[in-house]
Amino acid sequence: MDFPFRIVGFDLDGTLVDTAGDLTAAVNHALALLDRAPLSEAEVRPMIGLGARHMLEQGLAATGGVSEGVVERLYPELLRYYGQHIAVRSRPFPGLIDALDRLDALGVRTAVATNKAEGLARQLLAEFGLADRMSAIVGGDTLGVRKPSPGPIHAMIEQSDGGRTAFVGDSIYDVMAAKAAGVPSILVGFGFLDRPAADFGADHVIDHYDELVPLLAGL
């Protein structure tokens, strides 16, 4: 039987890899430089999804206020710290590697469109041996646009040589980008969701990676 998709694209933070612990540590490193109290991982999770700069702005806003000058000063600090501590607590979500293996065996290309900076995305994926198995890795700074624009998904599809595509993500920006790109959107219910899964308007929701290949096979 022919598999109905040639490309399956993934978001990174909160979708392929649970990065909340290391991203929280990076935000808290920046906050500590201002003598501000740390945030919990539960507080930082909903701040993830529009890139690390946005996460820093949200973290500052939640702890006493944010100004452009402070963001300018702390953003490079946050990136530097994060790059040096990128995979201390981060781990691929359960069942991911099996699902990628199954897609590989079906001849499906897997690719990434993330709002994380491309260099950090490649570094993180390489930590888990995942960079080399992706046909494209498009980051938040790769193009002039980021999700919810469909641009990163279009670029990911083009770099993967085209074909029917589905996109898997954990944020409203992923669902919006997939819809704008005209590809089915699949929400992972285990990601960094900031609202109930049913409220995202995704075409499908999975609660474990074991569900991904059977779902796609039926679409």
Ligand X SMILES: O=C(O)COP(=O)(O)O
Mark the binding-site residues for Mg(2+), compressed into ranges: 11, 13, 170
Contact between 159 and ligand X (CB under 6 A)?
no
> 112 with 76: CB under 8 angstroms?
no
| Binding site residues, Mg ion, CB under 5 A | 11, 13-14, 170-171
Q: From residue 159, how far is each of 15, 38, 156, 162, 164 by CA, in Å?
A: 21, 40, 5, 7, 13
Residues forming the annotated binding site? 11, 13, 170
CB of 49 to ligand X, least distance (A): 5
Question: Binding residue for ligand X (CB under 6 A) from 116, 184, 206, 209?
Answer: 116
Number of Cβ within a 10 Å radius of residue 84: 10
Contact between 11 and ligand X (CB under 6 A)?
yes
Taking CB under 6 A as the rule, which mask of x and - marks residues 13-52 in contact with ligand X? xx---------------------------------xxxxx
From ligand X, Mg ion, none, which one binds at residue 57 (CB under 5 to 8 Å depending on kind)? none
Number of Cβ within a 10 Å radius of residue 158: 11
CB of 55 to ligand X, least distance (A): 5
Tell me, yes or no, if 11 is annotated catalytic: yes
Output the DSSP codes for 22-82.
HHHHHHHHHHHHTTPPPPPHHHHGGG-SS-HHHHHHHHHHTTT---HHHHHHHHHHHHHHH
Residues that bind ligand X (CB under 6 A): 11-14, 48-52, 55, 114-116, 171
Just list the catalytic residues. 11
